[in-house]
Amino acid sequence: MNTIRWGIIGCGNVCESKSGPGFYKADNSELVIVMRRDGELAADFAKRHNVSQSTNNADEVINHPDVDAVYIATPPSTHCEYALKVAEAGKPCYVEKPMGMNHKECQQMTDAFKAKSVPLYVAYYRRGLPRFLKVHDLLQEGAIGQLTSVHIVHYGKLATGEKAKNWRFDPAIGGAGEFLDLASHGFDILDFLVSPIKRVSGFARNTGKSYNAEDVTAACFEFESGVVGTGMWNFNADHGGNYITFTGSEGEIQTPVFSDTDIILKRNGTEETFAAPNPQHVHQPLIQDIVNELNGQGQSTSTGESGARTSWVMDQCLHTYYSER
């Protein structure tokens, strides 16, 4: 198998442990250059991770002769811009989530890579984590009978002060608020575990007035498989918590979306738990799937098309809030 040589655009906090090391720890994968607008910080990252080259110029990464594939790990406002350049260079791309600022951008991206006949992947790494592969197996095995409904929730305390100044709360950079950043993972894993969502209605509100983005969003949706679901993302709550509940004709499965805790299976009046701890670098299993596909073995499930579907769902949930502003 060939060694896939990667370049990173945006080697910030996410790259430090969650994703960056996966590119040089995965089999047949190598990280050859990293970029950050602050060249000194890029050089520091490169030194600590034993990467031979660093730069403050994204084009240098994209057009580098030793780079086979590019990982875009910048905030969403630049995902489309950089991805289109990677497509033009004819190289595979792995872009952070949410894939774009909106579904329109995502469609631009998928069209560009399709035109060049090169693959586009999205960093919905939960598709490769042991926890969700176990839930997938339980659902496929009929552990709870016929799946009939899904409920997903995420609670968190209101961001205030300096925390509220983070780009994740600025729609001009993040596309929306915490909903877009965090609910994207939930909707994508439901796309993987159940089926694509074909209809959705949502309502978003700003209840805390701490920043301009929404802080509470509710949604109801229907999957192509006929299953229905509801969701609540409340980031002005007095507590934190996140989980998905899968309810079936013969039982129930509950799993966290973000917390590294056990899966709970309830049926016939009994409760069974399954431990499926996260790997050290949570992106690495998905990176390995992508490297394998680029070498002609297997196929990654997290594609530009699946990422665009998730963005479409979130657009429907946020449409009323942002169209009124």
Residue 171 has pLDDT above 80, yes or no: yes
Which percentage of the chain shows pLDDT scores above 90? Answer: 98
Q: How many CB atoms lie within 10 A of CB 238?
A: 8
* DSSP string for 32-50: EEEE-SSHHHHHHHHHHTT
- Average pLDDT in the chain: 97
- Give the integer Cα–Cα distance in Å for 23 and 108: 26
Per-residue CA distances from 52 to 34, 45, 324 (Å): 9, 10, 49
pLDDT of residue 172: 96
Sheet holding 4-9, edge to edge: 53-55, 29-35, 4-9, 69-72, 93-95, 120-122
The DSSP symbol for 64 reads -
Tell me if 313 sits within 8 A of 48, measured CB to CB: no
Burial label for 141, CB within 10 Å (0-12, 13-18, 19+), is exposed
Q: For residue range 16-69, what is the model confidence (pLDDT) as tens digits? A: 999 999 999 999 999 999 999 999 999 999 999 999 999 999 999 999 999 999
The answer to whether residues 242 and 154 touch, using CB atoms and an 8 Å cutoff, is: yes
List CB contacts of 38: < 8 A, sequence separation 6 or more.
56
Residue where the block lists tokens 């004709």: 249
Q: Three-state DSSP class for 162?
A: coil
Is residue 185 a contact partner of residue 124, using CB atoms and an 8 Å limit? yes
Give residue 1's pLDDT: 76
* Distance between CA atoms of residues 120 and 70, nearest Å: 10
Residues whose CB is less than 8 angstroms from the CB of residue 2 and which lie 6 or more positions away in sequence, other chains included? 28, 294, 295
pTM: 0.96
What's the whole-number mean pLDDT along residues 165-184?
A: 96
For residue range 1-13, list pLDDT tens digits in order: 799 999 999 999 9
Q: Tell whether the model's pLDDT for residue 257 goes beyond 90.
A: yes
Mean pLDDT of 296-319: 97
Confidence class of residue 164 from pLDDT cuts 50, 70 and 90? very high
Give the integer Cα–Cα distance in Å for 14 and 96: 10
Task: Return the minimum-mean-pLDDT range out of 117-121, 262-266, 319-323.
Answer: 319-323
pLDDT, tens digit, 9 for 90 and up, residues 74-83: 999 999 999 9
Q: What confidence tier does 325 reach under pLDDT thresholds 50, 70, 90?
A: low
Domains of the chain in start order, with CATH, are 4-124 (3.40.50.720), 127-281+310-323 (3.30.360.10)
Instruction: Determine phi and psi for 223, rounding to 5 degrees.
Output: -85, 160
What does 1-18 look like in DSSP terms, one character per residue? -PPEEEEEE--SHHHHHT
Residue of 201, 167, 228 whose CA lies nearest to 14: 167
Contact 119, 181 (CB under 8 A): no
User: Is 37 in contact with 55 (CB distance < 8 Å)?
Assistant: no
195-206 average pLDDT score: 97
25 close to 286: Cβ distance less than 8 angstroms = no
Which phi and psi (to 5°) does residue 296 adopt?
A: 85, 15
Asked whether 98 and 180 are in contact (CB, 8 A), the reply is yes
